[in-house]
């Protein structure tokens, strides 16, 4: 009985996080509707392991695409930036290459959409993250700076 209850609670929490993403233009990217899911590396983390980062939920997708698909994904991210509470974006040669977006609040959690496109020979490697938690923009910038210094 406890196992069934735990499965139900986990399912409800995952559904709540997925529901929070539905108001985003790039929701179809996370669902594998723009780039087939079989071509993506999908990471989803929830729970105590994220406490260090002041996050409760992390969903990331990474994939390689040609320029046409990169432009489709970038257009969705830019539409989210246009509707956001705040957004930082950078372009290279007309293509969106970086975005740190704070969508309008949905409940008590802070929400963030992070995007990066890097040139990869034939096309682009794109990383798209959706984050929820108490982290601030400054917390995220600090975390990303530490990650970049390790590379």
Model pLDDT for residues 80-99, shown as the tens digit of each residue = 999 998 999 999 988 999 99
Q: What was the pLDDT predicted at 61?
A: 96
Residue 4 clears pLDDT 60, i.e. is over it:
no
Torsions phi, psi of 146, nearest 5?
Answer: -65, -40
Q: For the whole model, what pTM was predicted?
A: 0.81
What is the spatial distance between Cα 59 and Cα 69, in angstroms, rounded to a whole number? 20
Model pLDDT for residues 50-81, shown as the tens digit of each residue = 988 899 999 999 999 999 999 999 999 999 99
Closest CA to 44 of 6, 14, 74, 4: 14
Per DSSP, helices labelled H in the chain are 2-21, 27-30, 67-82, 137-150
Q: What was the pLDDT predicted at 8?
A: 39
What is the spatial distance between Cα 112 and Cα 90, in angstroms, rounded to a whole number? 16
Structure tokens that stand for 110 in this block: 């802070």
127 to 9, 14, 89, 107, 115: CA distances (angstroms): 29, 21, 14, 26, 6
Buried b (16+ CB within 10 A) or exposed e, 77-97: bbebbeebeebebeeeeeebb
Q: What is the DSSP letter of 103?
A: P
Give the up-direction half-sphere exposure of residue 135: CA atoms within 13 A in the CB hemisphere.
25
């Amino acid at each position: 009985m406890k196992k069934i209850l735990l499965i139900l609670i986990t399912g409800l929490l995952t559904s709540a996080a997925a529901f929070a993403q539905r108001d985003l233009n790039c929701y179809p990217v996370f669902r594998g509707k723009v780039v087939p899911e079989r071509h993506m590396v999908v990471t989803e983390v929830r729970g105590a392991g994220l406490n260090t980062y002041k996050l409760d939920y992390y969903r990331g997708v990474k994939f390689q695409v040609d320029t046409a698909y990169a432009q489709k994904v970038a257009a969705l991210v830019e539409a989210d930036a246009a509707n956001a509470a705040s957004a930082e974006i950078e372009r290279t040669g007309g293509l969106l290459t970086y975005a740190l977006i704070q969508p309008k609040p949905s409940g008590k959690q802070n929400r963030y959409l992070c995007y990066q496109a890097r040139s990869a020979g034939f096309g682009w490697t794109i990383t798209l993250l959706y984050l929820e938690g108490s982290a601030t923009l400054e917390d995220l910038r600090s975390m990303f700076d530490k990650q970049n210094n390790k590379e």
